[in-house]
A and B are shown apart, each in its own frame.
Chain A
């Protein structure tokens, strides 16, 4: 997955290619957490993780669980999670599950 670290704004942006579903969530989790644990990324002391889900058409409960895991991990780190979602259905799902209260939901 593509990522970009802005050391000035302290934002780490990660672009997720496509959906987050039960069938690919394990692989995504490994890739994402390996990235976050990389020494150079860790040293940068980023404060915001911006997860770009613009390409996603569906996120199921396992996908939401991954996002919840990210929320928790960032809370211990003192960082924020920002999630960019363009698909209206996924936006609605975040709101139904009140996940939008636990992170910054960007819809544009």
Chain B
């Protein structure tokens, strides 16, 4: 008869518990004959004392009779479960004890055997139990290792967020699992340059974490050798396609990445994005724009990957927001624009509002705000983006829906906004957009209007810019206001309304560009 490999070949002991001495001798004999290191106990209390004294982790399986005086095999099962749920237990029951058998399985036993137990059946059951214990403990160790990796990643990411010579950074990081592929790294390149690299590797496991770290290392090394980001991204794209893919029909791994490289001496910054959401720039005046080109695919998808850099002047007094696609997914769930969610997360970090509910996040969340303080000025007075929208001219019929979306966004970021100010902002925005869509765009679908809104939490100011492609109006707003005072006229009432509702109105290009500022501290008495 084949017995298989010795039961305790890895040194794991087997604890046998039975109040019947003859049964105990039989069980021990069978298991020793199969190469097991057996320890016996005639009661649950004795068994517990042995496990405590010698250490639960040294045992690979427990075989226990079910019904014993004082305490039962179920009591032992419960005791073991509280200390080491990975340790597999086999319960031996009489045929009439089916209910107990069912209870034991529910309680975590891996198997139950009916008396009388045959030697072969016993040996196989114990073999299975030992194997199961080993697998469970391996899984537990792996999970602990993943947690360690995740904790290290988090620690490195937070440590990356700042440094004596770096631009001030604000980071919001909420990983979905212990370890994953979202990461931020920043490093100096020479005396004047700093590189910021946001990566999102597909997956939420150790493999993703490994690839993320590998990519960051490649980037750093190549930058120090004077390579530029488009070259680096192209190189890594080819690497992933040639060395990280077993099967041409499957994508082995992919990396969405966005880099920002700043050069203080040249007073420029450069953005390269591959499959990553584009950064949003908010300048010192509060103007908001999307930076970069959405040409590139995630690295590892296609050999032809049109990666290019977009350059601009360093936005002194402004900031750049970057995020991974998990933030966009959560924004969709919350039904707000991504910039509104990003601003809400950053304001929550400053204690300006409660943290948004992150339980709906289906992916890692990584959001970074890179701040460019005005030269020689104290930090502060930096705007946060609230809205970036573009609307075709024929959307004026949907103005009610647009207004609902604005209300959602503003309420999300500024939940304690004064009702009167909220009304002023909403009505002004409605009037400005209607004016732009109807007059500036002439209601045409091939013309578009832009809406940009931003918030300065230090000055408690909301700034809204509405721009249309038209030529504006040819009337004098101030004189028109006086005329209105004399007698009611219907024309241009919207612009006059805006002028009354906001704290400052700047009209450019005859009103084709309206800049409205609202002080959130305004008294409406």
Contacts and interface: CB of A to CB of B under 8 A. Distances in A.
Interface of A: 21-23, 58, 60-62, 64-65, 68-69, 71-72, 88-89, 92-93, 96-99, 102
B494 A98 contact: no
Cβ-closest 8 pairs across A and B: A96-B500, A61-B494, A89-B423, A61-B493, A68-B488, A65-B490, A23-B400, A61-B497
Specify the main secondary structure of chain A where it touches its partner. helix
17 contacts: A23-B400, A60-B427, A61-B431, A61-B497, A62-B434, A68-B489, A71-B488, A72-B488, A89-B419, A89-B420, A92-B420, A93-B500, A93-B501, A97-B484, A97-B493, A97-B500, A99-B488
A69 B493 CA distance: 13
B183 to A, nearest CB: 46
Contact of B496 (A62, A71, A88, A97): A97
Contacts of A71: 488
Interface string B3-36: 0000000000000000000000000000000000
B214 interface: no
Contact of A60 (B420, B490, B494): B494
Nearest to B524: A92
Interface of B is mostly: helix
Contacts of B399: 21-23
Interface string B398-424: 011000000000000000000110011
A72 B497 CA distance: 20
Contacts of B489: 68
B501 A69 contact: no
- How many residues of B sit at the interface, in one of the four size bands? 20 to 34
Nearest to A98: B485
A58 B501 CA distance: 14
Contacts of B100: none
A97 B493 CA distance: 8
Contact of A93 (B427, B484, B485, B490): B427
A68 B423 contact: no
Contacts of A93: 427, 497, 500-501
Given A88-B419, A102-B488, 5 more contacts: A22-B434, A58-B427, A68-B488, A68-B493, A96-B497
A17 B138 CA distance: 68
B503 to A, nearest CB: 13
A58 B496 CA distance: 17
Contacts of B493: 61, 64-65, 68, 97
